[in-house]
Structure 1
Amino acid sequence: MSHFLLKPTLPALAVLALLGACQSNPSSTESAASKAADANREAAGTNDKKYLSEPLIKEIYTADPSAHIFNGKIYIYPSHDIETGMPENDNGDHFAMRDYHILSMDSIGGKVTDHGVALDIKDIPWAGRQLWAPDAAFKNGTYYLYFPVKDKQDIFRIGVATSKSPTGPFKAEPKPIAGSLSIDPAVFTDTDGSTYMYMGGIWGGQLQRWRTGKYDGSKPKEQEPAANEPSVGPRVAKLSKDMLSFAEPVKEVKILDQDGKVLLSGDNQRRFFEGAWMHKYNGKYYLTYSTGDTHLLVYATSNSPYGPFTYQGVFMNPVEGWTTHHSIIEKDGKWYLFYHDTQLSGKTWLRNVKVTELKRNVDGSLQTITP
């Protein structure tokens, strides 16, 4: 993995840092990096590292920001990081989030309002633990909050909750969406009014356990494809008109290289890991996602919301912190990238959301951002 160096005025301990995907799979190196970041902050009394953007809020820890514009206003649907004291592990058990706060702002750079708890895990009848990265949509006069959470059998499913207000409170449906799986729901409404959900994340997100079409948790360490096999792609399904169920079977999204071949599992600089997002520009569909253990945000394009998508490149270099998760919106003629890092805490499980402008080249390709 990549590492950055903090300014030499800080202790040499700072050589390591946590970088880049929504859940974590930290190694001992990354754990040491987290401790190093803490030690640096304590020794210096501040963090001298220069950041591209500042946290949108500092009162609570937030991550995985899904941003949308409703009625001309920006609403951000992040996960809410908390300190649990749990040890880090490959399944991300230390990401034990329990509720959602919704943020809003009238414009980029404007005042950010925290609207408080919009949904709590105790109010989701089927939920077990780990309320991870959500998304939202508006249709039929109703706001829909989509969320991943492990059920009572410790299997990630996608649920949905509704409200008449974009800030909630939201009331959860009694059961998860039939056919849903894994994590990181991203809901995209096309120009023809059709709405799709993209979902999935490997490792702790369990997507590799669904390779046969049925959940198999018997040998979780052996289910990711071999390095020379096709990688596991995210899933997609069109939502029904009531936005509460899938209108069709879930399909796998294929991500191809420039030669038309599916990216291989061992190609961890390009293959899908988690955190998919969809937006459309000049009639073309842009699938953006995290590469996980290489900590990049990358993108692929297609002429169809179902793909296949052709890999195009990196649009954001690694942030501070192991995980990277984002969303993209257009506001007042400009495009913006919402993301997170660990500026406030130096701990990969205590993150803060940020925003920066996303620029394109004349041909529609995305310019690379260094956070």
Structure 2
Amino acid sequence: MNSLRYLFTFIAAGTIYSCNQSAPKQTTDTTTVKSPEKKYLSQPLVTHIYTADPSAHVFNGRIYIYPSHDTATGVPEDDLGSHFDMRDFHVLSMDSVGGHVTDHGVALDIKNIPWAHRQLWAPDAAFANNTYYLFFPVKDSQDIFHIGVASSSKPEGPFKAEKTPIKGSYSIDPCVFRDDDGKYYLYFGGIWGGQLQRWNNNQYDSSKGNRKPNDQAILPRMAQLSPDMKSFATPVKEIKLVDEKGDLFKEKDNDKRFFEASWVHKYKGKYYFSYSTGDTHQLCYAIGDNPYGPFTYKGVILKPVEGWTSHHSIIEKDGKWYLFYHDVQLSGKTYLRNVKVTELHYNEDGSIETITP
């Protein structure tokens, strides 16, 4: 769809513009107003389905991407993300960035998750025990998010889900990180629709709402995984995300505080915790000396994309680093997204160059 048709679609539908868009100027004459061509840093990896929240990994020398699968559910948009109601996961793969992308089809359907009720959200994957594991959040019969796990002998699946969620898990956006010593850690959490604000000391309280501006910002969570990759080896703990003075952020620091979309990678011996700020639409990162943190805020990886959400992953392949992310170039709709990839660059001091999408 060219940019002019894209713009007219937005006007006709009366769609609210995302944070980095501006509504067209109103005119009282009949002169045709041409919109400037939209320029994107990169193009969608696939266009036959809508995909988002790409968790990328290199398995057997090939890049595998585990995204959400967006569909038009007809559910009205709200701050809880009710319109994101994924029903299955597809797995994408390619030999290298820029190469042909293969869609391996449905890897896991919500119908085949015994404990699932609705809303499959962003997944992640890992390889251990000669097995591939897919981690995913979905709501149970009480409409509470927990994190489940499924396994397969192949990175593309199909995956067979466990009968129950991981005991002690909650909220959304699982990220699995393997450290150099072979230990695996699961990072997770998301506020607003992700329900993290309802969990205190690992106990659920449905009456808890979003934090007030001067309250301490909600912290992401993590736990070490057991060797079987299906349970926690340690209690779930909060991750301290702090500023350069070592102070925790307040909710009003919403251009820096954690919202959702945890990702952890390692670069030159340092641990990088990256995440989305949600309502300010940035991908930020913080650096720590161990997988438990604390992580000190360092800056912005990706400025706001076209669309409301921002969710990513970071991998190294053939000596280069890449950022996988999504926007709404194909549809212009918040809930119909498309995954993309671009090269990531580090400065000599280990900081990451900010990307404009």
TM-score (norm 1): 0.89
What is the match of residue 255 of structure 2? 269
1:25-67 alpha-carbon deviations (Å, 9 max, x no partner): xxxxx9x97x99xxxxxx9999931100000000000000000
- 1:156 and 2:145 are equivalent in the alignment: yes
The CA deviation at 1:217 is 1.0
Equivalent of 1:102, from 91, 103, 107?
91
Whichever residue aligns with residue 286 of structure 1, its letter is: Y
User: For the residues of structure 1 that align with 2:103 and 2:15, how far apart are their CA atoms?
Assistant: 35
User: For the residues of structure 2 that align with 1:156 and 1:212, how far apart are their CA atoms?
Assistant: 16
What is the match of residue 239 of structure 2? 253
Q: Do the aligned residues in 2 keep the contact of 1:184 with 1:276 (CA within 8 Å)?
A: yes
What is the match of residue 17 of structure 2? 17
Q: Identify if the C-alpha distance between structure 1 residues 15 and 244 changes in structure 2 by more than 3 Å, giving closer, same or farther.
A: closer
The CA deviation at 1:225 is 2.6
Matches within 5 A, 1:162-181: 162-181=151-170
Q: Do the aligned residues in 2 keep the contact of 1:19 with 1:323 (CA within 8 Å)?
A: no
- 1:349 and 2:338 are equivalent in the alignment: no
The CA deviation at 1:227 is 1.7
Higher relative contact order (Cα pairs below 8 Å, separated by 6+ residues)? 1
User: For the residues of structure 2 that align with 1:298 and 1:225, how far apart are their CA atoms?
Assistant: 20
Q: Which moved more, 1:105-114 or 1:82-91?
A: 82-91
The secondary structure found in structure 1 opposite 2:214 is coil
User: For the residues of structure 2 that align with 1:46 and 1:120, how far apart are their CA atoms?
Assistant: 41
1:290-329 alpha-carbon deviations (Å, 9 max, x no partner): 0000000000000010001100011110000000000000
What is the match of residue 3 of structure 1? none
Q: Do the aligned residues in 1 keep the contact of 2:124 with 2:135 (CA within 8 Å)?
A: yes
The CA deviation at 1:16 is 6.5
What is the match of residue 314 of structure 2? 328
Q: Do the aligned residues in 2 keep the contact of 1:289 with 1:298 (CA within 8 Å)?
A: yes
User: For the residues of structure 2 that align with 1:153 and 1:208, how far apart are their CA atoms?
Assistant: 17
The CA deviation at 1:152 is 0.7
The secondary structure found in structure 2 opposite 1:288 is strand
What is the match of residue 25 of structure 1? none
Q: Do the aligned residues in 1 keep the contact of 2:7 with 2:35 (CA within 8 Å)?
A: no
User: For the residues of structure 1 that align with 2:232 and 2:84, how far apart are their CA atoms?
Assistant: 28
The CA deviation at 1:15 is 11
Structure 1 stretches lacking a partner, 5+ long:
1-5, 21-29, 37-42
The alignment covers a number of residue pairs equal to: 345
What is the match of residue 297 of structure 2? 311
What is the match of residue 29 of structure 2? none
What is the match of residue 221 of structure 2? 235
Structure 2 stretches lacking a partner, 5+ long:
26-31
What is the match of residue 86 of structure 1? 75
Q: Which moved more, 1:71-80 or 1:208-217?
A: 208-217
Q: Do the aligned residues in 1 keep the contact of 2:202 with 2:236 (CA within 8 Å)?
A: no
The secondary structure found in structure 2 opposite 1:56 is coil
Equivalent of 1:281, from 254, 267, 282?
267
Query: How high is the sequence identity, in percent, across the aligned residues?
Result: 66
Q: Do the aligned residues in 1 keep the contact of 2:307 with 2:327 (CA within 8 Å)?
A: yes
CA RMSD of aligned residues (A): 2.5
